[in-house]
Chains A and B, each alone.
Chain A
Amino acid sequence: MSSPAGAPGAHGVHADGAASLAVEELVAGYGEVLALNRVTIRAGAASITAVLGANGAGKTTLLRAISGLVRPRSGRVLLDGADRAGRSPEDMARAGVAHVPEGQGVIAELTVEENLRIGMMSWPGIGRRRADQAAALAEAYERFSPLASRRRKLAATLSGGERQMLVIARALVARPRVLLLDEPSLGLAPRIMTQVMDMVVRLSRESGITIVLVEQNARAALAIADHGVVLNLGRVVATAEAKALAADVALRHHYLGF
């Protein structure tokens, strides 16, 4: 743990650190349409798993089913082996699952600091001491220094890259065990996108957070991921180490477009 505020355990927040996440035989859908058809993925503790595939492949629904925004019809969502399928998003957040939905991670009408404070809402009550809050904020500002000078500004005034930085900083404040990121690079300039990807890697390596990353930009995602999963029309069509997926020319052409 590199956290200057001490190990998360000192705060009584998700003391057990990273968690493994497994999804088994998950079925979910909207009306008649099955968006996920018996999807199984495994993400080891403190690993980065890239979920890839075309539009409509079921990537976003997978994240929503894990975090509880979509109630799965059947299957299991295992957090460190315990099945939590069908729990509410509030419960999943309190169990240590942070989900950053595509393009709407920050609350534009709140200030930067208020957005960061939202990250504390999933802390158990005993962890809400003022000193802990101040330490968590100080840590976030130290790691993401551009946010420090804007702390009283509305999040609406931030650039796209700064917004993603704020979202990731808030995830750090929440100290989740599992972080679900939906298209964090969407709409960002290439240079900013590289920075965001670097932040994702640091979050996993330094804070030991298990990350599931949904990305349109398969090349960039596979470059930082440990494992990759390719979805097509709601089914898993490939799952392998990220390097192996990136080296599979036929798969890349067929499903990933690079």
Chain B
Amino acid sequence: MVEFLQFTLGGISFGMIYAAIALSLVLIWRGTRLLNFAQGGMAMFTTFIAIEVIYKTGSYWAGFVVALAAGIVLGAVTELAVIRPTLGKPELNSVIVTIGLLVLFEGLAGIFYGGQFRSFPAAVSVTGLHAGSTYLGVSRFDVFVAAAVLVTTLLLAVGFRYTSAGLRMRAAAFNATVARLSGIRVARVITVGWALAGLLGALAGVLVSPSTFLYPNSMDSVFVFGFTAAVIGGLDSPVGAVIGGLLLGVVLNIAGGYLGANVTALVALGILVVVLMVRPAGIFAGAQVRRV
């Protein structure tokens, strides 16, 4: 029972990281109907930028902030320079472009920073937390990870729900034609969506790297789990992305805890197959209203 609790709590921080990646995919999917396969590669790159800043300044928080800012810039620039020319063309074009971007970012990281594994510092202590004498399966840093993603997600949710900019983004996502005809500059909204996705990816990169080490391919598996989470929750549903991420993180951690770390990818695949068979549009597709 104690083990189960440990595995469950331990899965939450990984789940929140998957949730951040899933949410970044959903933001882009809703705006452009495009899966950004480069999301993990972009996050890896901004994390390398963060580690350089941390080495130079000696300040974790300087690296943290620069990584998030770099994520915003990288997302917006990528959309403007590379993705926009492919929109309106066959959908496969933009998909291939994002895969090409992934190869590009991983190649550039290898050239600039080398291929060796680097350790990445954690914001706060990684020693385990205890309740009395019982180890809880999580550290202070795990709590920080969960809180950081939660706060970012809540800020985004409030922004989408209650601000004029958020309403513009939702209108553009649900019905781009009506949005344009109402004077909403949909192209600008899409750029903002990519910038926010870049921010979430950068956050995930900084938060996961203390556990995974940092190297050019270090975000690949994180991306796959984030993508799985997004599909589980439904690519159209931000709430689904977060819940899908949490669910996946906890289930994988429990499965890995009892059955060994080797089975996690298999379990993730199994969950994906079952969800796609039972609810092909994702668990939270019901929240989506009939598209006219």
Contacts and interface: CB of A to CB of B under 8 A. Distances in A.
B236 to A, nearest CB: 10
B182 A88 contact: no
A113 B285 CA distance: 24
Interface in A99-125: 99-101, 103-110, 114, 117-119, 121-123
Given A101-B177, A105-B178, A156-B289, A110 B171 contact: yes
A90 B171 contact: no
A121 B183 contact: yes
A118 B182 contact: yes
B290 interface: yes
Interface of B: 164, 167-168, 170-171, 174-175, 177-186, 288-292
B289 A93 contact: no
B181 A107 contact: no
Given A93-B183, A109-B289, A156-B289, A121 B178 contact: no
Interface of A: 67, 69, 88-90, 93-94, 98-101, 103-110, 114, 117-119, 121-123, 128, 154, 156, 170, 174
A99 B181 CA distance: 6
A121 B177 contact: no
A28 to B, nearest CB: 17
A114 B185 CA distance: 17
A11 B170 CA distance: 26
Among B168, B289, B291, the most chain A Cβ lie within 10 Å of the Cβ of B289
Given A90-B184, A90-B186, A110-B170, A118 B178 contact: yes
Given A90-B186, A121-B168, A67 B174 contact: no
B171 A101 contact: no
Nearest to A104: B292
Contact of B183 (A90, A114, A117): A90
A103 B181 contact: no
Contacts of B183: 90, 93-94, 121-123, 174
Contacts of A100: 181
Nearest to B185: A90
Contacts of B184: 90, 118, 121
Given A121-B168, A122-B183, A107 B178 contact: yes
Given A104-B292, A109-B288, A156-B289, A93 B181 contact: yes
Given A109-B288, A109-B289, A156-B289, A89 B180 contact: yes
Contacts of A88: 180
A120 to B, nearest CB: 8
Contacts of B164: 117, 121, 128
Contacts of B292: 103-104, 108
Contacts of A69: 177, 180-181
A101 B178 contact: yes
Contacts of A105: 178
A170 B175 CA distance: 15
Contacts of B288: 109
A86 B262 CA distance: 58
A17 to B, nearest CB: 18
Contacts of A94: 183
A100 B167 CA distance: 19
Given A108-B289, A128-B164, A93 B180 contact: yes
A122 B175 contact: no
Nearest to A119: B182
Nearest to B236: A109
Nearest to B287: A109
A128 B167 CA distance: 14
22 contacts: A69-B181, A93-B180, A93-B181, A93-B183, A101-B181, A103-B292, A104-B177, A104-B292, A105-B178, A107-B171, A107-B174, A107-B178, A107-B179, A108-B290, A114-B170, A117-B167, A118-B167, A118-B171, A121-B182, A121-B184, A122-B182, A122-B183
B66 to A, nearest CB: 32
Contacts of B174: 107-110
Nearest to A91: B183
Contacts of A119: 182
Contacts of A121: 164, 168, 171, 179, 182-184
A67 B185 CA distance: 14
Nearest to A154: B289
A93 B186 CA distance: 13
A88 B181 CA distance: 9
